Amino acid sequence: MRKTYRIGILGATGAVGEELITLLQERKFPIAELRLLSSERSAGKQLVFDDQSVTVQSVSAEVLKGLDLVFASAGGAVSRQWLPIAVAEGAIAIDNSSAYRMDPEVPLVVPEVNPEDVVQHCGIIANPNCTTILMCVAIAPLHRAIPIRRIVASTYQSASGAGARAMAEVKVQAQAILDGASPNVEVLPYPLAFNLFLHNSPMDGSGYCEEELKMVRETRKIMGEPSLALTATCVRVPVLRAHSEAINLEFAAPFAPDKAREILRHAPGVMLVEDFDRNYFPMPLEATGKDPVLVGRIRQDLSHTCGLDLWLCGDQIRKGAALNAVQIAELLMARGLL
């Protein structure tokens, strides 16, 4: 008989939490009990899982007892407060916040890239940042063929990365502008409809924002390359859902674009999307709701004999967050660790 698990989702009413619920059902995860957890503000809300109404509960030490697995998508402060308690009660926690990503005792896992790292967990496994996940899925197969020496990443990040309220705000702003009115700004720092701005995460003294530094630090950890040269520029763009990235790669030796295409065509979690004659390449509209990272426009870097350029799009809420977390759980199951 197939083993079933008692699962908790912390942050169940958020965009990622609701996607987790959908994915657990779609992928037929073996669930004996599902507890949907949130702050007191959202407690009592009804959500649907497997055609059954489930009441959202306020998170507490008591409600975390007896769980086998906890998915956390409620922010770093919530994860730091509650995940040690869940682990002490016997659960394994998969954390979607940045709270534990750079902790040397916590594995940071993209199942297509470093699945072996899950065995090192001490109760908590960190889910990387969305832009990092999407990029690593695309570049890791190439790195295995010829080592990458340097990465230059430029991201075009959708409103979904700032949550459901940001997505709703962009829609309202767009209508206001079309009606000749001034757009209202509440969730994001500036109007995003018909606009773009550099990612609004906090800046450090070097001029890099937190989002850019996440890409640098997390990629090095996931790929096991602590000295990998990497720089990033992260931009918020007026797209509702799915992020895009322009990636420039410098390898240890020349890398033929056709060889890269052949590798990516067979890489797990990647869908090659290329038609140069039609100028048809990955688009966020087509990545929305899809599990694979769409990769295309692979070409020789004209400025470097060992360089390649590529373009990718991926659903930030699915593979960039919820799907990666569920895949980590499936990996734990497959290896007998859950």
- What is the spatial distance between Cα 174 and Cα 89, in angstroms, rounded to a whole number? 47
Q: From the candidates 121, 130, 209, 234, give the one annotated as an active-site residue.
A: 130
Q: From the candidates 121, 143, 199, 243, give the one annotated as an active-site residue.
A: 243
- What is the spatial distance between Cα 274 and Cα 277, in angstroms, rounded to a whole number? 9
Tokens of 195: 């606009």
- What is the spatial distance between Cα 303 and Cα 203, in angstroms, rounded to a whole number? 30
Q: What is the 3-state secondary structure (H, E, C) of 304-319?
A: CCCEEEEEEEECCCHH
Query: DSSP string of 114-165?
Result: -GGGGGG-SSEEEPPPHHHHHHHHHHHHHHHHS-EEEEEEEEEE-GGGG-HH
243: annotated active-site residue: yes
3 state DSSP class of 296: strand
Pair 125, 97: CB distance under 8 Å = no
- What is the spatial distance between Cα 229 and Cα 309, in angstroms, rounded to a whole number? 16
Return the exposure string of 155-177: e unless at least 16 CB atoms fall within 10 Å of the residue's CB, then b.
Answer: bbbbbbbbbbebbebbeebbeee
- What is the spatial distance between Cα 284 and Cα 190, in angstroms, rounded to a whole number? 22
**Residue 259: CB atoms within 10 Å:** 15
- Chain center to CA of 121: 20
- Chain center to CA of 108: 12
What residues act catalytically? 130, 243
